Amino acid sequence: MAESIKDKVAFIGMGCTQFGERWDVGFKDLVIEATYNAYEDAGVESKDIQAAWIGTQSGSTAAGTLVAPLKLRAIPVARVENASGTGHEAVRNAAYSLMAKAFDLVLVVGCEKTKDAGFGGLGTGPGGAGVGVDEWHPTYLYGTASTPPARFALAATAYFAKYGLTPEEGKRMLAKISVKSHYYGYRNPKAHLRKEVTVEQVMNAPMIAWPLGLYDCCGVTDGAAAAIMCRSEDAKNFRDDYVNIKSLGACSGPGMGKVLSDYDWTYSEEDIAAAKMAYKDVGISDPRKEIDLVELHDCFSISEVLAAEGLGLCETGKYKEQITDEDAYYLDGIIPTNISGGLKSFGHPTGASGVHETYENYKQVQGKADYPERQKKKWKTDQRLCLSHNRGGAPGRAVSNVTIIGLP
């Protein structure tokens, strides 16, 4: 019978680079920066690591992207790729290896040098991030609808139509999300886009794919994050304030989105399934009341809406009333969301995002957020339950990952 991973695996050290346009460094430099940051936090060295995972959509082999820069010797190292869920997937693989007692101490790194692709967007190419689809598949890649902005623009207009929002109401709802993201990104010293914006600036920004303007879209970002993990029973040998994994959820869709004329763009079955899996392990029945803090996938402002509803943070179709109108996603709200600045403001180097989101929650649980104004002080639960989430891929062919962590 399958066993729950709850409180069996712990994070004992995490690190994160500065996110942004890192023209001053290469991919391997980012790996080193994030990893040694995590080593210092955990009080370990390379010689202590027994296995490692690198999550990236660029680079080549595990040896080229991880072993060489860190000079790891005679240990198993694997390269993991799963679209925007890559970082979470690397953590999940490492966690289950520890639970199986194959290793005692492992390293996970998520890294992307997206700017080196040589063109805008999260496209496929040397140094760039893929979009999670077959490169020349006649169904999954055609016309402008193959780009992430176009897909999420279709989702936004479908959401407006389905739930009776006028274009003005819909745009304003999305604009308020971006304002919140930039508010916290400005207060995060490692964020890429550290600039506050107003609702009017967001609504009047240059259009990318209607209704998504410039400030509705995440940037093209370089960055890396790393984690040192062990079994929870061993964690006190390294530190007192370790953070446990409470649950891991993951789901991949079968790929019918673009062949169904009645495909519903306003929700993701993969998000719903991954969340259900994660909540079952922790015993959560009402995430809006039982989750303390959320870092979710907001590559575009509309994706925050869809993810929040898919994760059960509000009722379906009620995001505006239950989240935006109540300011529920701010730090003092009922369900604080993307207090790091999110992918929108902090940045979205695809392979690194899942590990970075976990890093942000790890620091929050410990009471060590990088900026005092972003530190959560009042918690709903004694365990300080924090959720992170990513979704990548094409409509109906998405991958979704949910990770919940907290105090022992």
The DSSP secondary structure of 354-403, one letter per residue, reads HHHHHHHHHHHHHT--SSGGG-----SSTT--EEEEEEEEETTEEEEEEE
Q: Return the half-sphere exposure (C-beta side, CA atoms, 13 A cut-off) of residue 266.
A: 15
The answer to whether the beta carbons of residues 335 and 295 sit under 8 Å apart is no
Structure tokens at 204: 């009047």
pTM score of the predicted model: 0.94
How far, in Å, CA of 132 to CA of 127, rounded? 15
Of the candidate CATH numbers 3.40.50.300, 3.40.47.10, 3.55.50.30, 3.40.50.1820, the domain formed by 9-119+222-242 belongs to 3.40.47.10
Predicted confidence at residue 64, as pLDDT, reads 80
Predicted confidence at residue 2, as pLDDT, reads 84
Fold for the domain defined by 144-219+246-406 = Peroxisomal Thiolase; Chain A, domain 1 (3.40.47)
What is the average pLDDT value for the chain, to the nearest integer? 91
Predicted confidence at residue 231, as pLDDT, reads 98
How far, in Å, CA of 391 to CA of 400, rounded? 4
How far, in Å, CA of 160 to CA of 33, rounded? 43
Predicted confidence at residue 63, as pLDDT, reads 78
Cα angle: 265, vertex 271, 277; to 5 degrees: 155
- Domain ranges for the chain, please list them: 9-119+222-242, 144-219+246-406
User: What's the pLDDT tens digit per position in 5-24?
Assistant: 999 999 999 999 999 999 99
Predicted confidence at residue 201, as pLDDT, reads 98
User: What's the pLDDT tens digit per position in 14-71?
Assistant: 999 999 999 999 999 999 999 999 999 999 999 999 999 999 988 667 878 899 999 9
9-119+222-242 and 144-219+246-406 in the same fold: yes
Predicted confidence at residue 259, as pLDDT, reads 72
Residue ranges of the chain with pLDDT lower than 70? 59-60, 118-146, 258, 395
